[in-house]
Structures are given as C-alpha cells and as structure tokens.
Amino acid sequence: SIIKTKTSKNDLLSFSSGDSIEVCESELINLQGIIIDINGDSIRVLPKHEAFKDEILLKANEIRKYFSIGNHVKVLNVRFEGATGMIVGIDGRKAIVLSDGTKDEMSVQISDL
C-alpha cells in the first residue's frame, strides 16, 4: 500500500510498506522505524528501539523518510525523476546521490526519494 501526503511545507511525500522512517512530530520525535502497513492516514510502524516491543500507529504528518549513507534509492520527483543511485552524503534534508547510470552526483531533497 502506498500513501501520498502533503506536509506543512506542501511537499508531496510517498510512503510505502518497508520504508525506513523517523518521527518528526509528537513525543516520539527522532524515533526510527520501518513502515509495516498503511491504512488511510494511519501508518503502522515497527520501532527500531529496544524499549518498544510492539508496533505503533502514527499519522503521515508525524513522520519523514529516513535514509543512511550507502542506501540505494530511486528519485521519485523533480528533474532527476526515475534516476537510481547510492546515497554518498546527507546534508540536512538533502541527499547526495551517486547516479548508477552516469556516475554523476545529484543533490536531491530526501522527500523526493
């Protein structure tokens, strides 16, 4: 299941099962997890923290995608749409992606991955 939602900044985000996320709103801020299921605006997440043994429910506006250096990604929006590559750097909410095809570096908003 895939959900597309607008953030307060009017960025269109796509979430799907298996995505790594980070909580950016609520008392659970900075908690990381994996999306298990999506039902409307409710997103069931398995937290990556030893204090949480069970899945939790979050709203789409409470989370953002989370990536690490070395992750292989596909650009979903903007001028590089469809391009794939490996994240070689992260600067705030931007990722530096080394293109699989051209080996050029692309600076892409994390919300566009």
List pLDDT tens digits, range 9-32: 434 467 889 999 999 988 999 999
Facing residues of 45 across strands?
A: 35, 56
**Structure pTM?**
0.77
Contacts of 5 (CB under 8 A, 6+ apart): 12, 13, 15, 41, 60, 61
Span 95-105, mean pLDDT?
94
Dihedral over alpha carbons 75, 81, 84, 86 (to 10 degrees) = -40
Q: What is the pLDDT of residue 30?
A: 94
Q: What is the pLDDT of residue 93?
A: 86
Q: What is the pLDDT of residue 13?
A: 62
Span 34-60, mean pLDDT?
92
Q: What is the pLDDT of residue 55?
A: 95
- All structural domains of the chain: 2-65 (2.30.30.30), 72-112 (2.30.30)
The residue whose two tokens read 């001028």 is 79
Span 100-113, mean pLDDT?
91
